[in-house]
Amino acid sequence: MSFVTPACFKNTPIDTPRHGPLQARLQCKPLGISLLAVSLAIASSNLLAADEPAPDLTFTGHIDLVSAYYLRGATTTYGNVKPGLGNEGADAPESRRPVLQWGADITHTNGLYAGYWASLINYSYKSLGQSYDYYARGQTPPSDFNFQTPRSVENDFYGGYNGTIGDFGYTAGMTAYYYFNGKHSNGLETKLAASYAGVTFSAQTLLNDTVWGNRGDTYFLLNYSYALPYKITATASLGAYYYTKEGKYLGTHDPLTGTSCPRDTAFVVNGCFSGAAPVQGGYRHLILGVSQPIGDTGVTWGLQGILGGVNRYGIRQANRIFGSISYGF
């Protein structure tokens, strides 16, 4: 669930919908958005006079190997108690082992953009969703039920418009999250962003309930990048969340009985669990990083450190360091 930024805040070490080569899950039914953006770009070029040059389209792509995949600073757990269930229980992080990520972007000189980003995940969102279905039907999962197979692949499809007003830049777009081997996990987010002098502030709001978030959850991100000598780029990313306390898969009520969970407990996908109740919001992470291209090879190395905040239940997340090697084309 994924941080890099091509045009969607998703694919430079720190700016992405849910994820990216250096951050993660920053985290799109996506294909429609991408095709719409491309169609609009082509349509607009057809309106130009025959004697005018057609606007330029720019295509870029990347393949990345990251040492771990942390979604929006979630290094410990998405649940309401420490230490959490780990990957064995379909819990944070998305992957604590090295994984491949990849993506591509298309931008038009008129401001339209579209892109795709993907990552392997170290557990199954399909099994996580099925565990909710068993619970909602009052059934017990089979004895061989586990959260490790079939493992999921996160796919983010995004598109929108980038514009400028004087020295200020702005973005309006959407991201669709589609999980291969997923269930109750596909989501759609809006995105609004403004930038000035290397600083970007963005807000992404989830439009439907999923097993990883509630409708109305809004992720706020403040990004800053600064060029250092030797082509090194330093980045900083401060994230915070506004949480909708009540949703279909995450909240305070048991969907099977319709009753409220006891005090200091919460409903987390497949039951009311003791530990902590949902909070309204809070600081999510501070991520500091550096990256540098390796000559003219197209390869870039990156290193980032996460100073953990809290999740939707106020559970503190651990600090982590991770790295990446990315090839752009």
In a domain, 25, yes or no: no
Select the more confidently predicted residue: 28 or 239.
Answer: 239
Chain segment 128-175, per-residue pLDDT in tens:
999 999 999 989 999 999 999 999 999 999 999 999 999 999 999 999
Task: Report the alpha-carbon distance of residue 328 to residue 23 in Å, rounded.
Answer: 16
- Specify the pTM: 0.84
In a domain, 266, yes or no: yes
In a domain, 3, yes or no: no
Angle CA(144)–CA(148)–CA(152) in degrees, nearest 5?
Answer: 135
pLDDT at 130: 97
How many domains, the chain?
1
In a domain, 21, yes or no: no
**For the chain, percent of residues with pLDDT exceeding 90:** 80
In a domain, 137, yes or no: yes
Amino acid making up residue 117 = W
* Range of the structural domain that residue 60 is part of: 31-328
Contact between 232 and 292 (Cβ < 8 Å) = yes
Q: Look up the CATH number of the domain holding residue 115.
A: 2.40.160.40
Structure tokens at 82: 């420490």
Structure tokens at 235: 């980045």
In a domain, 9, yes or no: no
Residues with Cβ within 8 Å of residue 145, at least 6 apart in sequence: 127, 130, 131, 134
**For the chain, percent of residues with pLDDT exceeding 70:** 83
Beta strand segments in the chain, E: 57-66, 99-108, 112-120, 153-165, 168-180, 187-196, 199-206, 218-227, 233-242, 250-251, 265-268, 272-274, 281-293, 299-308, 320-328
**Residue 288 burial by CB count (10 A; 0-12/13-18/19+): exposed, middle or buried?**
middle
Chain segment 277-295, per-residue pLDDT in tens:
999 999 999 999 999 999 9
Contact between 225 and 14 (Cβ < 8 Å) = yes
Residues with Cβ within 8 Å of residue 319, at least 6 apart in sequence: 75, 305, 306, 307, 308
Residue 40 in this model has a pLDDT that exceeds 80:
no
In a domain, 24, yes or no: no
CA distances from 102 to 184, 290, 325 (A): 23, 20, 12
In a domain, 26, yes or no: no
